[in-house]
Structure 1
Amino acid sequence: MSIQDPQINVSRRGLLKFGAGAIGTGVVTAGLGSNLVAPEKSVAQEPPAKPPAKEEEITPDKALQELLDGNDRFSKSKRKNPHQSYSRLAEVAKGQKPFASILSCADSRVPSEIVFDQGLGDLFVCRVAGNIATPEEIGSLEFGSLVLGTKVIMVVGHERCGAVDATIKGAQVPGKIGSLIEAIKPAVQKSKDQPGDKLENACKANILLQIEKLKSSSVLSELIDAGKLKIAGGYYDLDTGKVSLVS
């Protein structure tokens, strides 16, 4: 559908106001394409269920702490495996209200719901090699924060990232893989004179670079300024399962 479709031609400021109300509580829950189109049936339908108190009251700081607490449980083999029951499946089938968004590497060893000990409907996750903030990833995270109401975005890079390593080595790669390397190059350049492990430094610099790109979004910056959103960086240790904050 064209973005000029009158059914979805809403200003960002108007959507910000609307997002805190009807959209955030379930009108837009299954995805951008299906639920922003006017329904064929009458709109006089049963109202969405009221979100749990935890989801209503959570702040950006509390959302970040929930992620860190979940990762602490995971790294200490004390997972609670929350929200993974069939009743939770039925609950979130009616609508989603995740409390956090994650921009992480596509690496198979870093599955967000597991390493943060969360379950169905808790996290809005974007995964791409090198955890880079492409226009599509930024748009997705804008949707997660503005429309679905996530309170924190964590950019999660990880130890021994292959995409960052390839960028450091100047690897010659086929197809579209090179676009990943181009997106990571500024971080490698910025970290090249830092003492210590070159790959680790570049991985952490890349996390901060992608945070900068996210903060350049007018949608996300407005939410941050309003105290409704926090963006944080996390570095995942493949050997211990621990996420440490990067700043």
Structure 2
Amino acid sequence: MINTQIKTFVKEPRITLVGAGPGDPDLITLKAIKALKSADVVLYDALVNDELLEFAPAEATRVFVGKRSGDHSYSQDAVNRLMIDYALNYGHVVRLKGGDPFVFGRGFEELDFAASYSIAAEVIPGVSSSIAVPGLQGIPVTHRGLSESFWVVTGTTSSGKVSQDVYEAAKSRATVIVLMGIKKLAEIAEIFKAEGKQRLPVAVIQNGSMEGEKIAVATVDTIVETARDKNIDSPAIIIFGDVVGLHPLFQPIRAFYEFAEE
């Protein structure tokens, strides 16, 4: 009689944090696609384009762990634990995050959590919406003679308040890009007004790089009303700075002010 022994081949657990880019699936990197093609599990966020999931093998498990406005069913702790559980039981977990994992993506928290379980982890950067979305609209975040630097700040902190960094950024001459701040737009505009920047150009862009993209261009004085008229909501980014004045939609506004001053 021949004894047979069934061997179970368990894949080595590993995690790859992947930046999915600003939304357009064509803006993901080649390295990110290679990671997706080798995934056993994909944990993906709300701002990830579903088309990217097609790069994963047909047999790969796909799990939505995103947080949408008003829906926080998946806490960061829960996501961390899911990531570890799937890695230990399935093998290669691709943690697919919108934009870049390290730009307000809490990527290092997930990297650190993986390290606490001695699970190998890799980071694949993504195209950040903070630079790409203005650029796709022809708004440079820096431009000779207009802006020598740029700030990328969160509009709303974990406590629900406007970040103190917004107050500091408003004092500078830099381009200021605010993420996760559309619900605080009126409050943030008042901060810039307090610095005497009522006429500073501002753009608000919703669903940047996506088919349903919307844009509102105005000055600090009028941006709240203009964004409301355009029915702009989250997800959206806000760009404050003279570079916004280069956008074609700002030219009539510039002409109005120049006429008013004659």
**Given the two structures, how large is their TM-score scaled by the length of structure 1?**
0.30
The structure carrying a bigger strand percent of its residues is 2
The structure carrying a bigger helix percent of its residues is 1
**Given the two structures, how large is their TM-score scaled by the length of structure 2?**
0.28
Identify the structure with bigger relative contact order (alpha carbons < 8 Å, sequence gap 6+).
1
Structure number, greater radius of gyration: 2
